[in-house]
Amino acid sequence: TSAINCLNTDTVNITVNPQPVTNAGNNVSICAGFSSTIGGSPTGPAGSTYNWSPSTGLNSTTLANPTASPTATTNYTVIVTGVTTCSDTDFVTVTVNPNPIANAGTDITVCPGVNTTLNGTGGGTYNWSPSGSLSNPNISNPVASPTTSTTYTLIVTLNTCTDTDFISMTTLPLPAVSAGSDVSMCIGGSTTLSATGTGTFLWSPSTNLSCTTCSNPAANPTSTTNYTVTITDASTCTNTDVV
């Protein structure tokens, strides 16, 4: 409208472009050294561009769903920009859990029939296998009673992260032992026992024996008696026989 009331018109169109709705995806937890895909599906309208930050641990900062492999817990921000330059922002946290360090202990040798306590460490939960010769495969220190040489596997789990270690338990052979042939004798008589084997000897009972730690003691029992000889080899494994 001019000063003398003359009129003229013109029009301007204001276009309201839709705002993209950004979705960075759910927070995730990974184990150290592992990775996870981040970003929702879909994260923005067709034709959108993506800008992730920081770039640390990402295989791309411009993908809708990059792979994240951070070495420490990281908060990632994604800015989604639509074809009309409108943008939106969202965040996602990638939590990095430390891996446990499993330690099944040092390899050991055992004598047959001897129970041995294993001593696993690493924290979290424990799982030993094979479990058949163990008192409890789900504790850190089960009692092992293998009949043959066995390698045990220990898996330690902490915050869903795992680590594995092994221990070999070698079962030694029993020492050979013989108490000799059975003997018949008259009351008041005496006989010499004759044990064989490699190691140290121990006879029992000691009644009416001239020696309990030699291989061939003289015996003069007054009644029928079962004498047991126990031999212990250099590995401290023992075996017995009876005459």
pLDDT average, residue stretch 193-213: 95
Give the C-alpha separation, 52 to 60, whole Å: 8
Per-residue pLDDT reduced to its tens digit, 103-131: 999 999 999 888 999 999 998 999 999 99
CB hemisphere CA count around 138 (13 angstroms): 0
Give the C-alpha separation, 64 to 193, whole Å: 88
Residue with tokens 């641990």: 57
pLDDT-based confidence at residue 42 (cuts at 50, 70, 90): low
Reported pTM: 0.74
**What local confidence, expressed as pLDDT, does residue 43 receive?**
63
What is the percent of the chain where pLDDT is above 90? Answer: 84
**What local confidence, expressed as pLDDT, does residue 92 receive?**
97
**What local confidence, expressed as pLDDT, does residue 22 receive?**
87
Supply the DSSP string of the chain, one letter for each residue.
--TT------------PPPP-------EEEETT--EE-S-SS-S-TT-EEEEE--TTBS-SSSSS-EE--SS-EEEEEEEE-TTS-EEEEEEEEEEEPPP--B----EEE-TT--EE---BSSSEEEEES-TTBS-TTSSSPEE--SS-EEEEEEEEETTEEEEEEEEEEEPPPPPEE--------TT--EE---EESSEEEEE--TTBS-SSSSS-EE--SS----EEEEE-TT--EEEEE-
Q: Which residue has the higher pLDDT, 111 or 43?
A: 111
**What local confidence, expressed as pLDDT, does residue 44 receive?**
66
The pair of structure tokens assigned to 240 is 């017995």
pLDDT average, residue stretch 205-224: 95
How far from the centroid of its chain's Cα atoms is residue 158's Cα? Answer: 10
Return all residues near 139 (Cβ < 8 A) that are at least 6 apart: 126
**What local confidence, expressed as pLDDT, does residue 112 receive?**
86
Per-residue pLDDT reduced to its tens digit, 155-196: 999 989 999 999 999 999 999 999 999 999 999 899 999 999
Q: Which residues are registered as beta bridge partners of 75?
A: 93
Range in 82-86, 201-205, 236-240 with the lowest mean pLDDT: 82-86
Residue closest to 221 by CA, chosen among 194, 180, 240, 193? 193
